Amino acid sequence: MSKRVFLVHGWEGRPDNHWFPWLLWELKARGFDVYSIPMPNPDNPKLAEWLATIKAIVVRPDKNTYFVGHSLGCLAILRYFEKLPKLSQIGGAVFVAGFIGDINIPQIEEFYAAPLDIEKAKSHCKKFVTIFSDDDTYVPMERSIEFGKALGAKAIMERGKGHFSKNEGVTALPSVFRSLMDISS
């Protein structure tokens, strides 16, 4: 059975920006089925719409299903995990610039303000990797570290990558690719 990878961009993001096109190509070249999900209303995201979109595109998650999230996409994925049926299992997730707690951005507060049942989300996925930068201007490093600890994730700190965006020069992200190879092997 082939392995599926779902890429979930963040606030104001698109499936074809930053390092997503590079990652999609690298994964497809190695036989993965890759879906870069266009999230609805990325400039004014609504949690219910994002969860419905992920659910509709993934359909049947299983142990050969993997996720890669960027920024707000990480929280959307975790909230999707939280709502999965009891016995559903996901192969793993790699989160880039993920966070937990208040990062003081009112436009996306709905995603982080409501309580998150992290244990329920973790019950569906055992392999997590978090990747964060030491100079992210949107997500304080402390929030990324808390996020990784709450998940029991392998944490990778990148130096000088900002918020991992194209306008900061990040068009390829080998640490995401290597992490996905590790958790999917």
Residues with a catalytic annotation lie at 71, 136, 163
Tokens of 182: 């590790």
Q: 9: buried, middle or exposed (CB in 10 Å: 19+, 13-18, 0-12)? A: buried
Cα-flanking dihedrals φ and ψ of residue 58, to 5°?
-75, -40
- Residue 70's nearest CA partner among 143, 140, 7, 124 is 7
Contacts of 178 (CB under 8 A, 6+ apart): none
Determine the Cα angle at 44 with ends 180 and 67, to 5°.
10
Partner residues linked to 121 by β-bridges: none
